[in-house]
Structure 1
Amino acid sequence: MNLRVLLASIVFISGSAVSAQADSLKTDTLVVDNVVFAGVTPPDSTELSFSWEEEWIEWCEQSSCVSSDTGLWNVVGEPSLALDTVVMKERLAILDRSSELDLRWNPVAHSKIALYVKRRKQGLGTMIGRAPQYFPLFEEILDREGLPLELKYLTVVESGLNPEARSPAGARGLWQFMYYTAKAEGLRIDSYIDERKDPVRATEAACQHLNRLYKRYGDWYLALAAYNSGSGNVNKAIRRSGKKNYWEVRPFLPKETRNYVPNFLAVVYLMEYHAEYGITPKKVLPGYLGIDTVMVEGPLRFDQMAAMMDLTESEIAAYNPVFRKKIVPGPGEVWPINLPARHVPDFIANVDSMRKYLPELTPEIKYEPEPVYYKVKSGDVLGTIAQRYGVSVKHLKEWNGLKGTTIRVGQRLIIHGDPSKL
């Protein structure tokens, strides 16, 4: 079956990413099932005390991948047995028995679960409602690649299941790939295409990347930590700790990464047991009965398509986030276009007429070179760098927000230069 057809129920809408950057646990050491948890104390079975850093909320509100709409939560009444350790242990044990991942109870994950349930600030209800649109696709690809199916929950932590999600650091898409990582995994990113936003291609690339990290560390949670912060930070933490178990390495990881795996475990748990905590799925916006895929040769603009279909340009763009400028590139390239199934016959019948609509505006796509990044070395000046890459000092200053010509060793400059010299 064509994987793209599995997108039949997808309605691309923006939402909230499930993420937190608070680490509220006290600095003791706890051993649970022969695993050492450094820097934690066990929670009380009925009440947890934790501090809450508001910085992440501010970050979320400023980030386009997160909505501050409190209506995203659908919590009915007070959570039942929300912080009962015994019940939580039993439920996690059930999940653990059917998973390759270690999903046993631990106090760090318990604290995160309590945080999510008590604060009700995150859109977990929306994520649960959105999951059926994406999880069947993720599960098929994860199963094909031989990876734990629970890794699908990473997309909740990373992007809130929003293919348009973007972070201030530049990560994009459901799996939040950074530019260079995405390119290394074979994703196409240029002026017109960003496959980080393609649910199929991005999931395939994420599987490749995660599999490579697991082979490197032999520990799934160290692999997830490396996915979040990069192998360099994990390698450094391993050297400093002298250990190779995630929970023992964790205190030596960057702060945001120390919270990454506990957030993941909390999401796994609450996505499975949300009803027991009074969290109900929030229905996604009404969509079409299904989405189908049509192959089309470019160039073709979305406004040309919309002019002869009962769809707006924005709706077409929502179904096809991979196209950065609402243009199907060409000529000589064939691309899959996602459309509501009921519109496919009209599209096929009218595609030739679409090309003739406002033909003077139909672009002959000329691919712009990707920018390069140059790390300033000792002795470098803007003039020599500009000459080397066939650009002007004025442009170098504009691209990098420089008021003067002073640069420092180690500074990274972005350069949009002559492609023959890049």
Structure 2
Amino acid sequence: MTDSCWCEINAKKRFIKTILIIFLMVFGVCFFQHSPAQAAITETSDNEFPLYPAIKPNVDFWISIFTKYSKSHGVIHDINNPSIIYEVVQLGSSETVSANSCNQKIKTAAIQKYREILLKLSKEPPPSSDEETRVASLFGQHATPAHFELAASNIRCQTGLSKEFKEGLIRAGAVLDEFKRIFKSHGLPADLVYLPCVESSYNFKAYSKLGAAGIWQFTHETGKIYMNIDYVVDERRDPYISTDAAARLLKKNYQVLGEWPLAITAYNHGLTGMLRAKNAAGNYENIFKTYQGPSFKFASINFYSEFLAARIVAKNHEKHFGNLRFQNPAAFQTVKTKGFLTVKDLMDKFNLSIEDIQTLNPSLRPPVFTEKKYIPKGFNLKLPKIFSIHEIDNRMAGLYKSGQKPSRFHKVRKGDTASSIARLYSIKLNDLIRSNDLSRKAALFIGQNLRIPVRDEIITAKKQPDKTKIPVPSSEPVVLSNPEQESKGLPAPDLIKPATGLDPMIGAAATPGYEPPADPIFDSIAEPLTDVVAINPRIDMSDIKILQIEKKGGLPIGVIKVEAEETLGHYAGWLKVSSQEIRKLNAFKVKDTIPIDRTIKIPLKKTTSQQFEEQRFEFHKEIEEDFFGSFSITGVETYEIKNGDNIWRLCENELEVPFWLLKKYNPDINFNSLQLKQKIKYPVIGKLKEK
């Protein structure tokens, strides 16, 4: 064999060897990336978040909402097929009450316009005008009258979000790297960090009308499973703690459901609800195409599509928004408090402002900053990194208090006056009036709960509400259960006591500068509720106190009437016992729901009656203060009950009003047995400007 032949054979061998090495390298990388040990995959791939052909129109729609349209655009579209866009109407960009009302009228008029056109097309084809021809063409040449009739009842307006999305990405720059680390530490795809773009536009102060808080929009019920939430601390508002909680929740969803499209949708629709959908329709694609669960509506159907759109836009932000200057991560260090602290002492010792402490510790609730409460013992306090841990310990050593400030309240009795109550607790009359937003006459009602201000508390004056009069109906007990919350794996609200006609005020915004007189013109004697009362959301008539205490086997047993938003889980936490112990004490079965106004027994072996009442009082104040810290009531409207309406879906989807607030407007209605064409009042809620 010639030398040239040997050279040719060797060259071929080298070529084959090179190909083999490349093949092994590629195969090896793939093997190690997708081995069973890495089943959860920390590095994100498109295989984990598939873009199914069926949902592509929805994803494209949300990309446009996030990048093309602003809040001054109202996109009038088909609910079932968002790629069918009838028109983009111009809206006012102002956040005022009058502007919002005007925008609502524009949206309603546009929806009605296209509803009439579609109904006409469903009855009198072919089109008889250019506008009808244009609308008909959106559905393609094979559209039938039935298509138009269905579309007439499926028109929706979506406001653009491009400005909010862009600003959210800028804010996210401060936390994204740490969030990715958190998700990877749980063995989860790093791209899940883009989910808050959908939930809150990375607004760290986000709070919804229905009580979801923080960038991950945890509800109170779900949040309590993963975080500490009480009157002093709400960890839903801490971006790092809530992200770890979201990672654990999403990991659980994925472990149960087996695919990310389902796990992500469950973040919105609830794990129980998605298990029901999976059992009915199989995989995500089939669910999207065919599933018609009673509460599986537009928000849940589109949640995964929104996530995909947000992920695409965020990872290609330069294409849509140009070069962005992201916020830098905050430099801080964490120290666990060894006792209770006042914010004032912390400010003085470390030369910090209230804003400095609030920014680094967003989970601390307002009562801490008005000196109603101390920073709690064991709190992971964040401080600027300019101090060493040794220096921090030395400075804080002499500041600690031995216990928390109590939350005191007084239930108004017959014959009480504001002056007599102030004298009883050795407090200033003016402080009592301002703490409870009492009127100039300091009018009180028998059964009303008054908060007793504590020492050194900073009391902010509030504007007295506009007065309106409404009838006070009777207080008939109503049985409520909430299948929608149960489907999400949340406890059903147990009892909600009618608020004896007391209704939230119109325009309940705080106005600096208002000073109630040092001595009221009248020091009114507490009266029973009559036919009419003044509207004021701060008047609390709930039965917070334990009704009676009896003995069983030598142990104290309390009797209470269950109030709005309360569950057995709340009681168990406050009493330091298990829910099962309370069920056993009352002979409740696991699936039993508790009727409104029912009295139940609670064990007081680990908690005193005063401690229980204090925590119960704080729970209701927390809900009220959080809501009116973000929203005001701008008006009252009437809704007529339609076929298929359910009060929980009305609150969450149609009216966007929390049930406890809706009940105040309709204290005489049995929400467990709504009647067709029955009319209910609901408050129009306006967003307060963020400070």
TM-score normalised by the chain length of structure 1:
0.60
Q: Tell whether the 8 Å contact from 1:194 to 1:323 is kept in structure 2 after alignment.
A: yes
- State the 1:379 CA deviation: 11
- State the 1:270 CA deviation: 0.8
Residues in 1 aligned to 2:222 and 2:234: alpha-carbon distance in whole angstroms: 13
Runs (4+) off by over 6 Å? 367-371, 386-391
Question: What is the percent sequence identity of the aligned residues?
Answer: 24
The equivalent residue for 1:111 is 61
Residues in 2 aligned to 1:344 and 1:314: alpha-carbon distance in whole angstroms: 21
Q: Name the SS of the counterpart of 1:143 in structure 2.
A: helix
Unaligned runs of 5+ in 1: 1-94, 412-422
Q: Which moved more, 1:226-235 or 1:339-348?
A: 339-348
Cα distance change on mapping 1:111 and 1:328 into 2, 3 Å: same
The equivalent residue for 1:342 is 386
- 2:321 is aligned with 1:278: yes
- Residue among 337, 343, 363 paired with 1:302: 343
Q: Name the SS of the counterpart of 1:193 in structure 2.
A: coil
1:155-174 to 2 correspondence within 5 Å?
A: 155-174=196-215
Residues in 1 aligned to 2:44 and 2:245: alpha-carbon distance in whole angstroms: 26
- State the 1:255 CA deviation: 1.0
- State the 1:167 CA deviation: 1.3
Residues in 2 aligned to 1:234 and 1:219: alpha-carbon distance in whole angstroms: 12
Unaligned runs of 5+ in 2: 1-42, 72-160, 409-543, 545-562, 569-591, 604-608, 625-659, 674-691
Residues in 2 aligned to 1:318 and 1:147: alpha-carbon distance in whole angstroms: 28
Residues in 2 aligned to 1:160 and 1:146: alpha-carbon distance in whole angstroms: 25
Q: Tell whether the 8 Å contact from 1:299 to 1:365 is kept in structure 2 after alignment.
A: no
Residues in 1 aligned to 2:212 and 2:182: alpha-carbon distance in whole angstroms: 22
Q: Which moved more, 1:205-214 or 1:341-350?
A: 341-350
Residues in 2 aligned to 1:378 and 1:175: alpha-carbon distance in whole angstroms: 29
The equivalent residue for 2:310 is 267
The equivalent residue for 1:86 is none
- 2:364 is aligned with 1:323: yes
Residues in 2 aligned to 1:111 and 1:343: alpha-carbon distance in whole angstroms: 49
1:358-373 to 2 correspondence within 5 Å?
A: 364-366=404-406, 372-373=566-567
> Counterpart of 1:115 in structure 2: which amino acid?
I
- Residue among 240, 243, 246 paired with 2:281: 243
- State the 1:262 CA deviation: 1.4
Larger Rg: 2
Q: Tell whether the 8 Å contact from 1:197 to 1:322 is kept in structure 2 after alignment.
A: yes
- Residue among 200, 205, 229 paired with 2:240: 200
- 2:485 is aligned with 1:223: no
TM-score normalised by the chain length of structure 2:
0.38
The equivalent residue for 2:254 is 214
- State the 1:169 CA deviation: 1.4
* Aligned positions, number: 299
Q: Name the SS of the counterpart of 1:212 in structure 2.
A: helix
Residues in 2 aligned to 1:115 and 1:193: alpha-carbon distance in whole angstroms: 35
- Residue among 165, 171, 188 paired with 1:124: 165
Residues in 1 aligned to 2:333 and 2:44: alpha-carbon distance in whole angstroms: 37
The equivalent residue for 1:147 is 188
Q: Tell whether the 8 Å contact from 2:227 to 2:236 is kept in structure 1 after alignment.
A: yes
Cα distance change on mapping 1:267 and 1:200 into 2, 3 Å: same
Q: Name the SS of the counterpart of 1:315 in structure 2.
A: helix
- 2:64 is aligned with 1:101: no
> Counterpart of 2:50 in structure 1: which amino acid?
D
Q: Name the SS of the counterpart of 1:364 in structure 2.
A: coil
Cα distance change on mapping 1:213 and 1:337 into 2, 3 Å: same
- State the 1:107 CA deviation: 2.6
Q: 1:95-118: per-residue Cα shift (whole Å, max 9, x none)?
A: 985663225772321221123221
> Counterpart of 2:61 in structure 1: which amino acid?
S
The equivalent residue for 2:300 is 257
Residues in 2 aligned to 1:336 and 1:171: alpha-carbon distance in whole angstroms: 23
1:165-184 to 2 correspondence within 5 Å?
A: 165-184=206-225
- State the 1:238 CA deviation: 4.1
- State the 1:265 CA deviation: 0.8
Q: Tell whether the 8 Å contact from 1:224 to 1:261 is kept in structure 2 after alignment.
A: yes
Q: Tell whether the 8 Å contact from 2:174 to 2:326 is kept in structure 1 after alignment.
A: no
Residues in 1 aligned to 2:302 and 2:201: alpha-carbon distance in whole angstroms: 16
1:386-405 to 2 correspondence within 5 Å?
A: 402=664
- State the 1:343 CA deviation: 4.7
Cα distance change on mapping 1:111 and 1:404 into 2, 3 Å: closer
Q: Name the SS of the counterpart of 2:212 in structure 1.
A: coil
Q: Name the SS of the counterpart of 1:338 in structure 2.
A: strand
Q: 1:285-314: per-residue Cα shift (whole Å, max 9, x none)?
A: x886x2122222231022221123332113
1:54-69 to 2 correspondence within 5 Å?
A: none
Residues in 2 aligned to 1:209 and 1:287: alpha-carbon distance in whole angstroms: 25
The higher-RCO structure (CA 8 Å, 6+ apart) is 1
Q: Tell whether the 8 Å contact from 2:341 to 2:374 is kept in structure 1 after alignment.
A: yes
> Counterpart of 1:341 in structure 2: which amino acid?
K
Q: Tell whether the 8 Å contact from 2:337 to 2:378 is kept in structure 1 after alignment.
A: yes
Q: CA RMSD in A?
A: 4.0
- State the 1:350 CA deviation: 2.5
Residues in 1 aligned to 2:329 and 2:266: alpha-carbon distance in whole angstroms: 37
